[in-house]
Amino acid sequence: MSTLPTASGSFGDKPVLTFPDSAAPEDLAVVVLEQGDGAEVEAGQSIEVNYLGQTWAPGGGRIFDNSYDRGSSISFPIGVGAVIAGWDDALVGQQIGSRVLVSIPPHLGYGHRGMPAAGIKGTDTLVFVVDILGAR
């Protein structure tokens, strides 16, 4: 079993990820870092989140995107294929107010093509810390 990265900070704070020396898990891994007390996110809702995304690498991969530095959250439909499959699979069913760490293998991320514009290779495992702010 793979060991997942750890994340600093609490809900609302920009996290810093610390990666283990082990290989990334081959399957989706989801850990609730802080349990929210809001309603559960349902497929088909529009979800509002803050997030940090980083590629998996021992010692720490490259941060390819984060909303904390922009100072604004993002909203998108969840559970309907509008975002990468790993987000749909990991975030549907989580409670609003939760901070979730998600490790997404390539086949549930951008696939073998990757996302060259973001510097993501087709072999990259993606790690996100997601603060779920709301859903409607």
Tell me the pLDDT tens digit for each residue of 25-69: 999 999 999 999 999 999 999 999 999 999 998 777 899 999 999
Q: What is the pLDDT of residue 134?
A: 98
| Farthest CA pair distance, the chain | 39
Kindly state the percentage of the chain with pLDDT values over 90: 91
The pTM for the full model equals 0.95
In degrees rounded to 5, what are phi and psi of residue 107?
Answer: -70, -15
108 or 61, higher pLDDT:
108
- The CA angle 107-91-26, to the nearest 5 degrees, is 30
Domains of the chain and any CATH numbers: 6-135 (3.10.50.40)
User: Is it the case that residue 101 has pLDDT exceeding 90?
Assistant: yes
Closest CA to 116 of 58, 64, 52: 64
Please tell me whether residue 80 adopts helix, strand or coil conformation.
coil
pLDDT band at 77 (very low <50, low <70, confident <90, very high): very high
H or E element at residue 91: helix 85-91
pLDDT tens figures, 8-27: 999 999 999 999 988 999 99
Mean pLDDT of all residues belonging to the chain: 95
Label residue 2 exposed, middle or buried (CB < 10 Å: 0-12, 13-18, 19+).
middle
Cα separation of 79 and 15, whole Å?
25
